[in-house]
Amino acid sequence: MSPSGPAGFPPGFLWGAATAAYQIEGAAQEDGRTPSIWDTFSRTPGKVLGGDTGDVACDHYHRFRDDVRLMAELGLGAYRFSVSWPRVQPTGRGPAVQRGLDFYRALVDELLEHGITPMATLYHWDLPQDLETAFPSGSSAGGGWPERDTAERFAEYAGIVGEALGDRVELWSTLNEPWCSAFLGYGSGVHAPGRTDDVAALRAAHHLNLGHGLATRALRAVLPARARVGIALNPSAVRPLTDAPADRDAQRRIDALANRIFSGPLLKGAYPADLLADTAHITDWSFVRSDDLATIKNPLDFLGINYYAPAVVSATSDPTAPRADGHNSSSHSPWPGADSVAFHRAPGELTAMEWPVDPTGLTDLLLQYTAEAPGVPLFVTENGAAFDDRVGEDGSVHDPDRVRYLHGHLSAVHAAIRQGADVRGYFLWSLLDNFEWAYGYSKRFGAVYVDYETQARTPKTSARWYAEAARRGVLPPVD
């Protein structure tokens, strides 16, 4: 797959946008849906800025047809959405609620009618609360992803959704950003379910890996041969502050925890030896069974890469050093076994999330995974930025910072393609402004502005710019 010209993207390149169920759907208590861990977390005082919840969000559950028409007007060729597990299987066990599946059938049918390729993500962080509060193995700490049973339940759920939508959907992603699920959910506690336990975080990482492997098998058992199954990771472009050996070792530690804890089992069928050594004082990893790694290392039909900003690290002897890793504030670190590592904010412009704008990290990651997973096509499954968008007096939303951001990062994708990366598509995060997890509705990532009082949608300047790029396959100039 090669570019069509010096500035052009390859023929067939998918120009898409992405969302997640809890962030946009609303209808939190309709048609049999039960609480997810994010419903519980967001309703817990002090966990989400402003006490915001996803109860209504963008009301996409009722407005999906209008949203699909908007996608078509913007010329999107693909849409990556996630399926709400508690909408389909309320307790995480047993038969599906057909009303839940019917919503996704109707959504996909609407997409196909408008010529938009659907990519279904099975898990974007909304674990059924019943699985989190269950104690399948007798653990007093709780259930959820630290428990093997959750991986097995996930495979059952995957089979249900695959059977329901397999005649309509060809692109399937098992998990979105398992690092966040494991280490922000069970390590630092800034994401649902809000637990702060290093052992639980490492156990969760393994069982998320295992869940991917089991779900991949379950999907392939029910999907037609043309379907493609992958996973969306959020690898970190980790850079040392200096070339000093201690800083290089800090880089190695964070690379193991951010990246190789997933790519090792997925691509090589093994956890990195240095990761096991770095965390030996926390756990002996006895929760990894003899056949788990073979299950995890199912061949991938594609690999999704989510990218926002690089990480800059150094060695430190101060365990209380500020941690500018971009993952909310918590007294508990999401980096077990890495107390000797300090995080530094990379130089340059910052987004409203105070994340640095550095497209070179995206090129680096695409080339890195091209080398690590030869023959596996790549998608940029998330990339985007939050800025302080405002509606102008004329009713328009002008967001030149986001236009520059998109131009820079799409240029980075193009640079990777020209250097041999087989990148098949790009999914802008996000289609709509939405519930931004622990930040509530305070951060706007959308190419389309959402007035949460009226639910009116207004495409921003960036949406029009992106539509032009999708139409031409060439990046328009930036004003």
Q: Which residues are catalytic?
A: 177, 382
Residues 6+ apart with CB under 8 A from 151: 145, 207, 208, 210, 211, 214
Both tokens assigned to 316: 């430190």
Distance CA 288, CA 338 (A): 21
The number of residues in the chain equals 479
Instruction: Compute the distance between CA of residue 429 and CA of residue 385 in angstroms, rounded to an integer.
Output: 7
The most distant pair of C-alpha atoms in the chain lies apart, rounded to whole Å, by 63
**Distance (Å, whole) CA 160 – CA 47:** 32
How far apart (Å, rounded) are the C-alpha atoms in residues 69 and 250?
A: 48
Amino acid at 362: L
Q: Are 135 and 142 in contact (CB under 8 A)?
A: yes
Give the DSSP letter string of 267-323. IISS--HHHHHHTTTT---TTS-TTHHHHH-PPPSEEEEE-S--EEEEE-S-TTS-B
Task: Give the DSSP letter of residue 188.
Answer: S
β partners of residue 382: 306
Please tell me the distance from the alpha carbon of residue 417 to that of residue 301, in angstroms, as a whole number.
18
> Do 235 and 362 meet the contact criterion of CB atoms below 8 Å apart?
no
Pairing between β-strand 302-306 and β-strand 228-233 as defined by DSSP bridges: parallel
- Chain centroid offset of residue 77 CA: 20
Helix (H, G, I), strand (E, B) or coil at 28: coil
Element (H, E) at 174: strand 171-176
**In angstroms, rounded to a whole number, what is the distance separating the alpha carbons of residues 421 and 415?**
9
Under 8 Å between Cβ of 187 and 198? yes
CA distances from 448 to 23, 27, 31 (A): 14, 21, 27
Q: What SS3 state is found at 241? A: coil
